[in-house]
Amino acid sequence: MLYAEVGKAIVDFLFSLLTLLVGTIVKLLTVDSMAGSMGNLYSSVDKLDDTYICRDDAKNVLLTPLVEELEGGSDVVDVPRVVGAGFVQGIVTYTVMDDLKVSPMSSISGITLLNTFGVTDIRSLQEKTVQLGCTEGLEILKASLQSKTLLTDVFLS
Query: What is the tens place of the pLDDT at every residue in 54-105?
Result: 888 888 888 876 555 555 555 444 444 555 678 899 889 999 999 999 999 9
pLDDT for residue 6: 94
pLDDT at 103: 94
Cβ within 8 Å of residue 28, ≥6 positions away:
none
Q: How far apart are CA 119 and CA 122, in angstroms?
A: 7
- pLDDT at position 10, please? 92
Higher pLDDT, 117 or 19: 117
Percentage of residues of the chain with pLDDT beyond 90: 30
pTM of the model: 0.75
Q: Where are the alpha helices (DSSP H) in 52-144?
A: 58-63, 107-116, 134-144
Report the pLDDT value the prediction gives residue 27, as an integer from 0 to 100.
65
Q: Do the Cβ atoms of 2 and 108 come closer than 8 Å?
A: no
The answer to whether the beta carbons of residues 67 and 19 sit under 8 Å apart is: no
Give the residue, 156 or 68, on which the prediction is more confident.
156
Give me the pLDDT at residue 79, please.
45
User: What pLDDT is stored for residue 110 in this prediction?
Assistant: 85
> What local confidence, expressed as pLDDT, does residue 39 receive?
83
Task: Name, in order, each residue with C-beta under 8 angstroms of 73's C-beta and a sequence gap of 6 or more.
Answer: none
Sequence letter at residue 53: I
pLDDT of 33 > 80? The answer is: no
**Quick one: pLDDT at residue 48?**
92
Whether 150 contacts 144, CB under 8 Å: yes
pLDDT value at position 59?
A: 87
pLDDT at 141: 86
Edge to edge, the sheet with strand 102-104 lists 3-6, 94-97, 102-104
d(CA 116, CA 145): 25
Q: Beta 75-78 vs 94-97: how paired, if at all?
A: unpaired
